[in-house]
Amino acid sequence: MTTTTFTKRTTSPFRYDVVGSFLRPQALKDARAQFAAGQIDASQLKAVEDAAIIELIHEQERAGLKAVTDGEFRRSWWHLDFFWGLTGIEKKTLKQGYVFHDEETRAESATVSGPISGANHPFVAAFKFVQAHVSAGIQVKQTIPAPAQCLAELQRPENNAALRRVYPTDTAVVHDLAAAYHQVIEDLYAAGARTIQLDDCTWGMLAGNHAKGAETGDVSARNDAVLDQNKQLYLQVNNEAIADLPADLTINTHICRGNYHSTWASAGGYDSVADPLFNHENVHAYYLEYDSDRAGGFEPLKLVSDDKLVVLGLITSKTGELEDRATIINRIHEAAQYVPLDRLCLSTQCGFASTEEGNVLTPAQQWAKIALVKSIAEEVWGV
């Protein structure tokens, strides 16, 4: 019997992985509530965060993960906290939050207050803390929201007037936003980061709006000219931000359709965004949501450039029920009809807590999901 030998993965993405965020421990939730109520100060909150992150690092290492994160424990949101850390962008309270399938989020956003820059971003110090506490041979993966995600936030109807007061044209804001991100990424690299993941819901939302428009007859939603304009704008800002970076810095991206308290925001396959996402975005690998029918089929993967990898998010992070092992393995081989098996990896579909509320599952179920991802990858790729 012939045994297939697969390339040993020594840099991200590894054959088994997670997206990045983890359920917040109760002590951290309590501390954040106390801080919001003025019962403890910032230094006291940081001490609780530090302890929780160190324990999470140990838990990830015990689980066998080769690239660990801080679980996004210093954040309230997977994306907004990063935006608020950029010069020229401020926190904003809205009348309505993001509308998900079953519920509405907290009503917070980000708005432009002046020229945008990436100098002295607080995420750099957060990375250094994790780097200082991992064991030898363990890599640190820094997750940040994609530049396109920030652009989309600033262009929301509630925020667009403030954006246009500072940046009258898309060209101007794309230039400064890409430059700001580039600065943060360079600072992270100087601090020792070698793997950065751009989390990006913009493509999933574009695909979902287009699919919904096709189903309902909403011409504005499925207008191909508008879709193409947005795709090119998102591609431009992402690619400009990651251009001319050191050769040993790996830039990956994660694409999903929303993840809040186990609910979702969009439904639609990758078909309408595969070009230019899979063939022209200059990333090393795509972490792709594929845990439900909302993500569509694998056929769009045929457009993935030959030098890129795909991390199949087949294990859901939204529920605690474990997937059927044989079904997941079969789906991996289905995807291999479009991307060779050697260029595939496996992960959870999204983080376990994209916001501090977290998804509806227990910590034990969270770690059981990771164990399943690892054991399936060991069977499929022999790692």
- Quote the domain boundaries for residue 194: 16-381
8 A C-beta contact, residue 352 and residue 346: no
- pTM of the predicted protein model: 0.95
Give the residue among 313, 320, 315 at the shortest CA–CA distance from 359. 320
Q: How many CB atoms lie within 10 A of CB 201?
A: 27
8 inside domain:
no
Residue 148's pLDDT is 98
Give the residue among 325, 309, 313 at the shortest CA–CA distance from 376. 325
Q: What is the number of structural domains in the chain?
A: 1
10 inside domain:
no
189 inside domain:
yes
For 189-202, the pLDDT digits (tens) are 999 999 999 999 99
The token pair at 375 is: 């054991």
Between residues 106 and 322, the one the model is more confident about: 322
Sign of the dihedral defined by the CA atoms of residues 190, 191, 194, 198, in that order: negative
8 A C-beta contact, residue 176 and residue 125: no
DSSP structural state of residue 263: B
Query: Which residues in 217-254 are b (16+ Cβ under 10 Å) and which e?
Result: eeeebbeeebbeebbebbbbbbbbbbeebeeebbbbbb
Residues 351-366: what's their mean pLDDT? Answer: 97
> Residue 213's domain is classified under what CATH number?
3.20.20.210
8 A C-beta contact, residue 184 and residue 118: yes
Model confidence at 2, pLDDT cuts 50, 70, 90, reads very low
Distance separating alpha carbons of residues 92 and 111, to the nearest angstrom: 6
Tell me the average pLDDT of the chain.
95
Model confidence at 223, pLDDT cuts 50, 70, 90, reads confident
What strand order describes the sheet that includes 195-200? 16-17, 344-348, 309-315, 285-289, 250-255, 195-200, 142-145
Model confidence at 98, pLDDT cuts 50, 70, 90, reads confident
Pairing of strands 87-93, 108-117: antiparallel
8 A C-beta contact, residue 14 and residue 67: yes
Residue 95's pLDDT is 87
H/E stretch holding 79 reads none
Torsion of Cα atoms, 244 then 249 then 253 then 254, to 10°: -160
Measured in degrees and rounded to the nearest 5, phi and psi for residue 63 equal: -75, -10
3 inside domain:
no
Residue 1's pLDDT is 37
The token pair at 9 is: 């993965």
Identify residue 179 by its one-letter amino acid code.
A
Residues 315-332: what's their mean pLDDT? Answer: 98
63 inside domain:
yes
9 inside domain:
no
With helix as H, strand as E and coil as C, how does 296-336 read? CCCHHHHHCCCCCEEEEEEECCCCCCCCCHHHHHHHHHHHC
For 257-296, the pLDDT digits (tens) are 999 999 989 999 999 999 999 999 999 999 999 999 999 9
Give the residue among 374, 372, 273, 375 at the shortest CA–CA distance from 319. 372
94 inside domain:
yes
142 inside domain:
yes
